[in-house]
Structure 1
Amino acid sequence: MGLFLNSIGIYDRYKTVTKGQYFVDKTALLEEIIPLLGQEQRFICITRPRRFGKTIMANMIGAFFEKGIENRKIFDSFAISKAEQYEEHIGKYNVIYIDFSEIPEGCKDYNSYIKRISDGIKSDLQDTFSEIGLQRKVSIWDLLSDVFEKTGEKFIFVMDEWDAPFNMEFVTENDRKSYLLFLKLLLKGKSYVELAYMTGVLPIAKYSSGSELNMFLEYDMATKIKYSEYFGFSDEEVDGLYDRYRKYTRKPRITREELREWYDGYYTAARERIYNPRSIVCALSDNQLSNYWTSSGPYDEIFYYVRNDIKNIRNDLALMVIGERINAKIGDFAAVSMELKTKNQIYSAMVIYGLLTYDNGQVFIPNKELMLKYDELLQSEDSLGYVYRLARRSEEMLQATLAGDVDTMASILEYAHNTEVPILSYNAEIELTAIVNLVYLAARDRYRVEREDKAGKGFVDFIFYPVRKEDDGIILELKIDHTPEEAISQIKDKKYALKFQGKLEEQPKYTGRILAVGIGYDKQTKEHSCKVEVLK
C-alpha cells in the first residue's frame, strides 16, 4: 500500500460514501469499463461540471480493481457483483490513483507540484517491487517499464481532476506544456498501461495541441451519450432517495416537486434530464432547500464569462431569467480558450462548467438553484445596463403591487419602456413578459414565481406562490392592446385562483388573500395601465 499505488485511501473514501443514507449504486459503470482493459482504446476521459459525481466514480473504479484490500466487503452487495466479469477482475490490478488537485504544502511553483507526484510514485514502486532493484533516479515511465519487463505487471491509472493545474495561479503557460508532456510520457504508447481513466471539468482536446493526448476518447455531458447515466441522478433515482427521506426524516420539510424545481433541469446528450447529485444529497440530509452547488462559487463566476459580450448577452439574460431558451452552437473548443469573445464560445464554456444547460440546439438556466445566482447577478452588476436598472427597481414594484399602488406600478413600467431596451420592442407578448419578470425579480425572495402555468380553464401569465403563509398570493395577467380590467376578468373567468387550492398534494390548501393583477399596454399610445383587485 502506498500514497499513489494501491492506496487504501481510495477504498476508504468510497466505502465511506457507500454508507451514506442517500448513496446511489452506480457500479454498473464497471461493466462498461472492464471490456476496455488491455485494449487499444483503453484511454478515456469523462468531463462533467463540478459536483456531478466524478470523484466518487473515480474512487469506485480504484476501489474495485486495486490489489491488497477487501474489495468484496463493498461490492458483493452492489449491481456489479451480478456481472459475469465480477470474479475475474475484482481486486486483481495494480492501481495508480492521482488526484491532480492536491498540492504540496506551501507549493508555489510547478516543479514542486509535479515532483510530489513523481517522487511519490517512485517511492511506492520501490517499496512494492523491492525485489527487482529499481533505480529511483530514472523517470517514472522508465521505472514502470522496468517493472513490466521484469514482472509482467501492468497498471490501471485513475486520474481525478486532470485539468486542475490549468487553474493553479503558479502554473505558467510553459508549465502547462510541460504538464501535457508529463502525461504523454507517462501514458502514451506504454505497454504497462492496462487502463487510463481520467476525469475533469474541461476537455483535453484543445489543451493538447498536436498529438500529446490524442489516444484519449473524451465523453462530455452535452454531446456524448455514452456514460451519461452514471453522472447525476435520474428521476427514478431521486424518487428512491425521496422515499428514504420521507421514511427516515422525523419532520420532512421538502416536497418532491421542490427537489425537481431546485435541482433538476440538466440535460444529457441523450436528452435525458438529470439532477445535480450533490445538491440532492445535501438538501435531503439537511432537510432544507438551499444553494449547495452554487455556494462554492459566487455570482461573479457567471459574470466572468458574460462580461466579454455584455451588450449582446444581457439581452439573452433578460429572456433566460423568465425561462426562455436561447439558440446556440456549442463546441468544447470554447471552454479551453482564455479569450472567450463570441456568444457561442461563452455559452459553450458556461455549459461545460454547469452554469447553463444545453438541449436540442439551445442553452438555458436549468433550475432554481442556479436561477437565484442569475437573479443576484442581474441586481448587482451595473454593466448589465437596462437589465440591472430594471432589476434594481423590482422590490419597489413588488411593494407597490401589494399595496395596490397602481400609479407607481405604471410609472415603473413606463421607466422600463423609456430606458434602452434593444430586444424588447413590445411587439410580442414575450417581450412584455420579459420586462415584467425583471421588474418583479425581487419577488423571488418571497415567492415561487411560475410563468404560463396551467390554471383553472387556461394558462395564466404569472402566479406568485408565497413561501410564507402570511404573504398574499398573486395572479398576474398581461395584455397588449387590452385594458387591465380585461386582464382581471380573464383571471376570474378562467378560475385561475384554483391553482392556490393545493398545488402539491404534500402541501395544505392556501387560505390567504389572493391578488389579481392586470397589466395592459397600448402599442399606439405607448402607455401602461395597471389594476389590482383582491379576489378573496
Structure 2
Amino acid sequence: MPFVIIIDEWDCVIRNSTDKELVHKYLQFLHTLFKSEESKSFLALSYITGILPIKKIKDEAVLNNFREYTMLKSRMFTEYYGFTEEEVKDLCQKYDMDFDSIKAWYNGYLIDGRHMYNPNSVVQAIEEKEYDSYWKNTSSFETINTFITMNYEGLKDDIMTMLSGGKVMVDTTSFQNDFSEIHSKDDALTALIHLGYLAYDETMLSAYIPNYEVAKAFQMALKSGSWTEISRAISTCDELLMATIAGKEERVAELIELAHDTYTSVLKYNDENSLSCVITMAYFTAPAYYNIVREMSSGKGLADFVFIPRANAGNRPAMVVELKYNKSAETAIKQIQENRYHGALSDYQNKILLVGINYDAEGKDKKHHTCVIEEWQQRAT
C-alpha cells in the first residue's frame, strides 16, 4: 500500500544551518524520498509545509514535482493562510471586540485579492481583551535586523518608504529560497515577505508593511539595531502625540524638526508630500489608538491627515492635521476651518483638535517648523 508523507517545517535545516554540506545532504535525502525512481513504488502523496518555498539551484526548484503555494501566490489555499475578514468580523461580534482596532493591528495581508489576518494574534487579542503586538519574541527582531541592515543600494530608502506608509517595487524572482543566499535588495525584501514581515501586492508587484503589529516589530528591531538616529526619532513618537493632545505647539514643532532632521537623509524634503511622509513617521505610534486617514475627502476638499479615535483611544481627541510648505501654520488652520475639513468627523461629538504645521525652507536658527493647535468643540445636532 502506498504511503502518504507529511512533513511540517520541512525547511528548518535550510533556515537554521550554516553548514552548506549538511544542507546539501538534506536536499539529496529529500530528492531520494520524493523524486527518485524508487519513490514511485511507495509514495502516493507528499504534503510538506514551511516558511520558505522549495530551494532553487540555478533558478530551478530542487523538487520541481511539487505544486507550490506561497505568500506570493497561494491560489486555492488563500483562505487557509490566516483568518479571513468575514471570520474576524464574526469573532469580534461574538467576543465584543472592536473590529476597527483588530483590523488596524492584524490585517493587511492581501493574498490573491483576499484580506487575511494573523490568526495567532487575533486569538490572543480576543483572549487577553487587549490590542497589542503578540509577535515580539527576540528572534523576530534579530531576523528583521539581519535583512534590513544589509548594505544593498536602495534598501534603506525602501525600508523608510514602507515605514512611512508607502509601497516599494520588488522583484521576487531572483530569490533562491535560502536565507543564506541573499545577494540583492530584492532578495532581502522577498525573504521578509515569506517570513510575514512584509506583505506583497501581486497586482503592483510591490511590498509594504501590512499592519501596526508588524510596524511595532520593525520599531523594536530598529531600537536594537544599528539605525541609531532613526531609533532615537521613533522613541519620541509617544511624546509627540501627547504634546499635540496637550496643545504644546512649540514642543510639537521641535519634535517634528527632529523627525525632519532624521529622515531628510532618506526622503526628499521639498514639498508637502515629502512633509506628509515625515509626519507619518513622526506619529509612528499613533495607529495604536487612531485610524489615520491621509487625504480624506471632507467639506470642500481633502484633509491632509484625519486622526479618528478607536474604541481603545481613551480620552484622546480626534485630530485634523493640515500641512503647509513655505507658508504659515496659521494658514493651515484657516484652510481647515474655511473648507470645513473637520466635517469628516461630524459623527464625533467630543472635542476635535485642529493642527496646522508649516515647513519654512528659510527658517532661522535651523528652526524650520511651526505649529498652531486649536480646539474645536463639535455641537450635537
* TM bin (shorter chain): 0.7 to 0.9
Please state whether the residue corresponding to 1:463 is helix, strand or coil. strand
Structure 2: distance between partners of 1:242 and 1:275: 13
For the pair 1:493 / 2:334, whether they are aligned, the reply is: no
Going from structure 1 to structure 2, the CA distance change for 1:393 and 1:232 (only over 3 Å counts) comes to closer
Match of 2:250 among 407, 410, 414: 407
Give how far 1:265 is off: 1.2
Match of 2:42 among 192, 214, 223: 192
Structure 2: distance between partners of 1:175 and 1:207: 16
Going from structure 1 to structure 2, the CA distance change for 1:313 and 1:392 (only over 3 Å counts) comes to farther
Structure 2: distance between partners of 1:233 and 1:423: 36
Aligned to 1:514: 352
Going from structure 1 to structure 2, the CA distance change for 1:265 and 1:418 (only over 3 Å counts) comes to closer
Q: For structure 2, list consecutive stretches of 5 or more residues without a partner in the other structure.
A: none
For the pair 1:367 / 2:245, whether they are aligned, the reply is: no
Aligned to 1:183: 30
- 1:434-458 residue CA offsets vs partner (Å, 9 max, x unmatched): 222233334455x325131536424
CA RMSD after TM alignment: 3.0
Contact 2:296/2:304 (<8 A) preserved: no
Aligned to 2:372: 531
Structure 1: distance between partners of 2:277 and 2:6: 47
Contact 2:109/2:199 (<8 A) preserved: yes
Give how far 1:199 is off: 1.0
**TM-score normalised to the size of structure 2?**
0.83
Going from structure 1 to structure 2, the CA distance change for 1:263 and 1:411 (only over 3 Å counts) comes to closer
Structure 2: distance between partners of 1:293 and 1:207: 32
- 1:128-148 residue CA offsets vs partner (Å, 9 max, x unmatched): xxxxxxxxxxxxxxxxxxxxx
Contact 2:233/2:262 (<8 A) preserved: no
Please state whether the residue corresponding to 1:156 is helix, strand or coil. strand
For the pair 1:473 / 2:318, whether they are aligned, the reply is: yes
For the pair 1:376 / 2:220, whether they are aligned, the reply is: yes
For the pair 1:338 / 2:338, whether they are aligned, the reply is: no
> Over alpha carbons, which structure has the higher Rg?
1
Structure 2: distance between partners of 1:180 and 1:211: 11
Going from structure 1 to structure 2, the CA distance change for 1:332 and 1:240 (only over 3 Å counts) comes to farther
Going from structure 1 to structure 2, the CA distance change for 1:310 and 1:473 (only over 3 Å counts) comes to farther
Give the count of matched residue pairs.
366
Once the two structures are superposed, the pairs formed by residues 236-385 of structure 1 within 5 Å of their partners are 236-243=86-93, 245=94, 249=95, 252=96, 254-268=97-111, 270-295=112-137, 297-309=139-151, 312-331=154-173, 333-359=175-201, 360-378=204-222, 380-381=223-224, 383-384=226-227
For the pair 1:464 / 2:314, whether they are aligned, the reply is: no
Contact 2:145/2:225 (<8 A) preserved: no
Which sits farther off after the overlay, 485-494 or 410-419?
410-419
Give how far 1:278 is off: 2.5
Going from structure 1 to structure 2, the CA distance change for 1:390 and 1:293 (only over 3 Å counts) comes to closer
- 1:208-266 residue CA offsets vs partner (Å, 9 max, x unmatched): 998852322322121353432332232233334444x2xxx4xx2x2222222222211
Give how far 1:196 is off: 1.0
Please state whether the residue corresponding to 1:203 is helix, strand or coil. coil
Contact 1:455/1:495 (<8 A) preserved: no
Going from structure 1 to structure 2, the CA distance change for 1:203 and 1:419 (only over 3 Å counts) comes to closer
For the pair 1:484 / 2:336, whether they are aligned, the reply is: no
Please state whether the residue corresponding to 2:292 is helix, strand or coil. strand
Q: What letter is aligned with 1:390? A: A
- 1:46-101 residue CA offsets vs partner (Å, 9 max, x unmatched): xxxxxxxxxxxxxxxxxxxxxxxxxxxxxxxxxxxxxxxxxxxxxxxxxxxxxxxx
For the pair 1:159 / 2:15, whether they are aligned, the reply is: no
- 1:184-209 residue CA offsets vs partner (Å, 9 max, x unmatched): 22222322111111111111132699
- 1:455-475 residue CA offsets vs partner (Å, 9 max, x unmatched): 642432223345443334332
Contact 1:161/1:200 (<8 A) preserved: yes
Which sits farther off after the overlay, 399-408 or 470-479?
399-408
Match of 2:269 among 426, 436, 447: 426
Structure 1: distance between partners of 2:60 and 2:109: 32
Going from structure 1 to structure 2, the CA distance change for 1:179 and 1:260 (only over 3 Å counts) comes to same
Going from structure 1 to structure 2, the CA distance change for 1:402 and 1:310 (only over 3 Å counts) comes to farther
Please state whether the residue corresponding to 2:182 is helix, strand or coil. coil
Give how far 1:510 is off: 5.0
Going from structure 1 to structure 2, the CA distance change for 1:211 and 1:283 (only over 3 Å counts) comes to closer
Contact 1:394/1:442 (<8 A) preserved: yes
Structure with the largest fraction of strand: 2
